[in-house]
Amino acid sequence: MNAEEHEETTCQVTEAEARTELDRLLSDQRFHGTERARDILRYLAERYFDGEAGGAKAYSIAIDVLGRTSNFDASNDPIVRIEVSRLRSALSQYYEAYGEAGVAIDIPSGRYVARFARCVHGRDDAAEGAGANNEAPADAVPVTITIPQGILAVVVSRRGYIPSAAAAATALLILGGVVAWYSSQPSFTQKPLVMLTMTAADVRLEREAGATRDYLLASLAQFDTLTLSTQQPARVRQPVRNAYSVELKYYADDDNDRTVWWQVSDAADGDILKSGIERVSMEGKSAEAVKDELVSALSRRLATNRGVINSIEARDAPRSALGNACVLRAEYGLDDGGRQELADASRCLEQTLARNPSDAEATATLARVTLATDPAAVGEALRMANRAVSLAPTSDRANVALMMAQFHSGRIAAAIDAGNRALALNPSNPDISAKLGSVLFAGGFYDSAVSLASDAARSPEAAPRDAVLVLALDAYRRGQWSEASLLAEQVNCSDFIVSALRAASLGQLGSAQASVRLADLRSWNPFFEKDFRAHMTTRQYAPAFAASLRDGLAKAGAHFTPDGMAAN
């Protein structure tokens, strides 16, 4: 091996190393690439990971990333050269200032290709002018991904030849092993890209429809679940994230009605995924109030964790997927309360953070999963929640995680403050109202808790679990046993407090079904009588409410000693 070949081998990096560096760079606030530059970098990187080491043409970048039409002409429109030049400069400045010994990313002059290496590549100033047509020299050697350890590398000289059929067969087997190894790695999903358009069915409504669209975009931008775009990309494979088109049409049926028809479709192939209608009566309301009501309903329909788009994302992503799909499934696990689902979510989130330690969404969600699986780990959960807020101070998800961690650590006032910050950041998110309502209920602020829970329960897709639970708990507190039982049965979850509330409500009613629900609770925790006081303390419930719940469980057949411990 000569010196040039040795240097090339030394500079090579694995795909895992390359992806880790890409995720780290894009999450580092010191990297001053524009949003367009970041999208171009992701696009070029995905082509590289897909084995397209030759990079991309200016036309492809213009159409796929920058939203240009099919008649784009690079010779007349320099947008690609300008944006790639900015990206190249941002990368150079970043690694010169903050680069450490390790993997670095650069865009070589004259080519639109992402290059990952441990070595610093010199600028090829002579090639600077070649970027317009993206033509690489015929003998250019593309940077390659190294073969993982344990797989024997076969090196063939350019001027040499394969000496035998056996060697060729060996090379093919090795190549197949490499392909199989890479294909087995979990995919890293990102938040979906959403392009939204709204038209008026009547030209006289155009101004009203335009104002509603603008407020809707502002509302959707407050959610941490979507990436919004005003561009409508060509219907091609999206290399970075799934993309959706949302079409809305604004109607005024009569003086007392405003209606918005909506449709969500796959931006890549145009397939219609779901459609519906939101209608608001104008009777007794101002035009501003009607607009706010429409915007709130549409935001909840489209952007919540269980909204149309995120439900599709969570359903269709591979089970092993990391990143955004992992965060969504963890949210579902937290709502559903399944132990296996939470254990899977914890592993998935940990793998996501191993790939990208600066992922605020994953950090915040892992903090809440940690609390759900091990309440004694409140210190670690609080550390993660604080880190999530420091990484993304305007993230409602991060502030909700901080609220729950502070709540479980006994800092009720601080938890309420964090919840109010989250609600101020995204007043349209029913999950925040529901979770803050649960904290307020535990703190004894019952009227405020019920008000927030009632508002959250109006969510068009599905009422958040915590909203229905707060309403059920309050009904029990007021002695409305039938209402409490009915609401508790509507909670799509069977954790300790839901199971206990179902059994206690029926116990207070003297129902024969109380023993059945008590058996359900015992299957969840065979020693719940012994652990009852600890459960109430963890949830910070008032002593009077805890005593009333224990009384209902006793009437259902539970056996408590006078001090609250289980009877022998």
Q: How many CA atoms lie within 13 A of 495 on its CB side?
A: 19
Neighbours of 195 (CB within 10 A): 17
The pLDDT profile of the chain, 568 residues, written as one tens digit per residue, is 454 444 445 577 888 888 988 988 898 877 877 788 888 999 999 988 888 878 889 888 988 888 888 888 877 677 788 778 778 878 887 887 777 668 899 898 888 999 988 755 444 433 333 333 333 333 333 333 433 443 333 333 334 444 455 555 555 555 555 444 444 567 889 999 999 999 999 998 999 999 999 999 999 999 989 998 866 554 444 445 789 999 999 999 766 789 999 999 998 888 999 999 999 988 888 888 899 999 999 999 999 999 999 999 999 998 889 999 999 999 999 988 777 888 999 999 999 999 999 999 999 999 999 999 888 899 999 999 999 999 999 999 999 999 999 999 999 999 999 999 999 999 999 999 999 999 999 999 999 999 999 999 987 667 899 999 999 999 999 999 999 999 999 998 878 999 999 999 999 999 999 999 999 999 888 989 998 998 898 889 999 999 999 999 999 999 997 655 444 4
Answer yes or no: are the C-beta atoms of 239 and 216 closer than 8 Å: no
Element holding 525 (H helix, E strand): none
Structure tokens at 137: 């020299």
The long-range contacts involving 507-515, CB below 8 angstroms and separated by at least 24 positions, are 507/552, 507/553, 507/554, 507/555, 507/556, 507/557, 508/481, 508/551, 508/552, 508/555, 509/481, 509/482, 509/485, 510/555, 511/485, 514/555, 514/556, 514/557, 515/556, 515/557
Domains of the chain: 3-149 (no CATH), 193-303 (3.30.160.100), 317-427 (1.25.40.10)
> pLDDT (tens digit, 9 = 90+) per residue, 26-81?
988 778 777 888 889 999 999 888 888 788 898 889 888 888 888 888 776 777 88
Give the whole-angstrom CA distance, residue 302 versus residue 399: 22
Give the whole-angstrom CA distance, residue 444 versus residue 402: 20
Give the whole-angstrom CA distance, residue 87 versus residue 81: 10
Sign of CA dihedral 433, 437, 440, 445: positive
Amino acid letter for position 248 = L
Q: Which pLDDT score, from 0 to 100, does residue 172 have?
A: 57
Torsion of CA 234, 235, 241, 244, to 10 degrees: 100
The residues facing 276 across adjacent strands are 262
Q: Which pLDDT score, from 0 to 100, does residue 199 have?
A: 94
What is the residue whose two structure tokens read 């539970």?
558
194 burial level (CB within 10 Å; 0-12, 13-18, 19+): buried
